[in-house]
Chain A
Amino acid sequence: MSPPHTRAPSAPGVPDDPAQIEAIGLTKRFLTPKGNPFTAIHDVSLTVEAGQFCTIVGPTGCGKSTTLAQVSGLDRPSAGSVLVGGRVVDGITEGVSYMFQADSLFPWKTVLRNVSIGPILLGTPKKQAEDLASDWLRRVGLAGFEDRYPHQLSGGMRKRVAMAAALINSPRILLMDEPFGALDVQTKAIMQTELLGLWEELRPTVLFITHDLDEAVALSDKVVIMTSSPGTVKEIFDIGLPRPRGDVQTLRYEPEFVELQSKIWESLKDEVSRAYATTSAAA
């Protein structure tokens, strides 16, 4: 287990409690390579309560990832602002972990080193960081794989490593950008169940991006639909399914689940077809 006080001394003021995320009028404009301005997201306002699991769904290219980058502080908004735990994001947000679709593991580091990088960057002594990392590897069911390199693992195992690496610092906020997008259907369901288990233990605030509506409904408290480009919030659905949700595979057949899923699809459908029409017209 990782009690809150294992957070390294270099970040003293950071509480381990999950933080509320509040986006207010968030707008991001880019310059395209040709020099034309392009509005990725426009006036996105959205509140995720502390400890809530919120999923963003939307057509391809609607600025979901852009929104996540603003929350992490890796990118700055053109207008509007993001508040994390009541403080305006300015520079890298503290206590955030990221998980991407491509496994962002270091191919040259062993599994143990990959997981222990989080605490090491916070200034934790190496021995202590590695103890914590092997503890986390046990939690995700990878005890005994400490000395393997990422290429020696299967896709699902790599995701577990990435999950341990993302959770080891007990983040206040977990940003997940289609983390299971590249997995096969069965592995995906297993990983979703495991993520739910770990999340229910630690309860960080989660902002999760996916294209998979089943995934969105099964995991979240709240599903946000974004419009096609420029992205903005179209509709928000509260998912009232009781927790703990248990196995994602069986959840899928419950009538309440099916009903929510089809309601969300109704809302998303138009956006998807509009996004498809514009991209195929441009091509």
Chain B
Amino acid sequence: MSTAMTSSEHQEPTDRESVLREANQLQINARRARARRTMWVWIGRTVVAVVVIGGWQLLTNYKILDPFFYGQPSSVWGSLVQLFTKGTAFGTIWEQLWVTVQEAIYGFLVGTIAGVIIGILLGSNRYLSDVFNPYIKILNSIPRIVLGAIFIVAFGLGLFPKVLLAAVLVFFAVFFNAYQGVREVDQNLVANVRVLGAGPIQVARHVTIPSAMTWIIASLHTAFGFAIIGALVAEVLGAQKGIGLIISQAQGRFDPNTVFACMVIMAIVTLGAEYLITLLERSVLRWRPPVRSESQSI
């Protein structure tokens, strides 16, 4: 660029050509560098996977780690194949998976809806928030997962206690974000619509809820993980069907490979749900500038 500008006039055409060529070359180089970088990232990722899984396999092969306790990748794969081909003692794996997923989804929905409603309510009402604040802090600090034991005793081995435990775990994750989101609303925006004649409901509709939506959706990523944990733990504590039941049965048979296989299955389910939530996030938060932390897409 600068050479073209400072050069005298009769040299300009050749200079412009060389500038263009230079720019072209720059672009090609940049593309190549980017491709090379992507390749190295993938090589790195593969190396990590090979080292971790291969190391696990080798260490257990040579009995440095006892495969009786720690399982073995090849046997985990074997268990997976067996689960999907031969099924389980309680029916096909798909049936078990569907039960667990169903519990997680119901729990996720109930917990999310309750969390959003109560979060927005307490976030926008100073009095209610002052009254409930200490109780919510107490509830949040108790180990809620233990409630599962009570739910199983109180509501039996069916679907309901699992949904309940999942919902309780989800609720707090969503609630705190909705609450905080409402608190962070730009007061200028509120003043603006109030001056234009908006009542409390219109303020909520046009300002508070859309503004808190960023926070709420961010919480959904972790919330679905919590839903799965809640459903699984409740199943381990007592169930007639579900992945959690397979896990507790495998534990009883000293079979770590099946436990790991179940973990793999649930991880895949969670990744799938995470992907769907990301799609939802993209469509709801279309208005946001594209500069975002990459941590969530990793």
* Chain A residues proximal to chain B, CB less than 8 Å: 10-11, 72-74, 92-94, 96-98, 100, 102, 104, 106-110, 117-118, 121-122, 149, 151-152, 169, 175
Contact = CB atoms under 8 A, between A and B. Distances in A.
A118 B197 CA distance: 8
Contacts of A152: 289
Contact of B197 (A100, A109, A121): A121
A121 B193 contact: yes
Interface string B273-290: 000000000000111110
Contact of A169 (B186, B196, B206): B196
A104 B189 contact: yes
Contacts of B114: none
Contact of A100 (B192, B211, B286): B192
Q: How large is the interface on B (under 10, 10 to 19, 20 to 34, 35 or more residues)?
A: 20 to 34
Contacts of B97: none
Interface of B is mostly: helix
Nearest to A73: B195
A100 B213 CA distance: 24
B204 interface: no
A107 B207 CA distance: 10
B250 interface: no
Contact of A92 (B186, B188, B195): B195
Nearest to B206: A117
B194 A92 contact: yes
Name the 8 nearest CB pairs between A and B, nearest first: A151-B289, A104-B188, A108-B287, A149-B287, A104-B192, A121-B196, A108-B210, A98-B195
B52 to A, nearest CB: 41
A97 to B, nearest CB: 7
A107 B287 contact: yes
Contacts of A94: 197
Contact of A106 (B189, B285, B289): B189
A65 B74 CA distance: 71
A107 B188 CA distance: 13
A110 B287 CA distance: 8
Interface of B: 186, 188-189, 191-198, 202, 206-207, 210-211, 213, 285-289
Interface of A is mostly: loop
Nearest to A148: B287
Contact of B196 (A102, A106, A108, A117): A117
Contacts of A108: 210-211, 213, 285, 287
Given A104-B188, A109-B210, 18 more contacts: A92-B197, A97-B196, A98-B192, A102-B188, A104-B189, A104-B191, A106-B206, A106-B207, A106-B210, A108-B210, A108-B213, A108-B285, A117-B193, A117-B196, A121-B196, A121-B198, A121-B206, A122-B197
Given A100-B188, A104-B186, A104-B188, A74 B210 contact: no
Contacts of B186: 102, 104
Contacts of A122: 196-197
Contacts of B288: 107, 151
Contacts of B213: 108
Given A104-B186, A104-B188, A121-B202, A109 B287 contact: yes
Contacts of A104: 186, 188-189, 191-192
Contacts of A169: 196
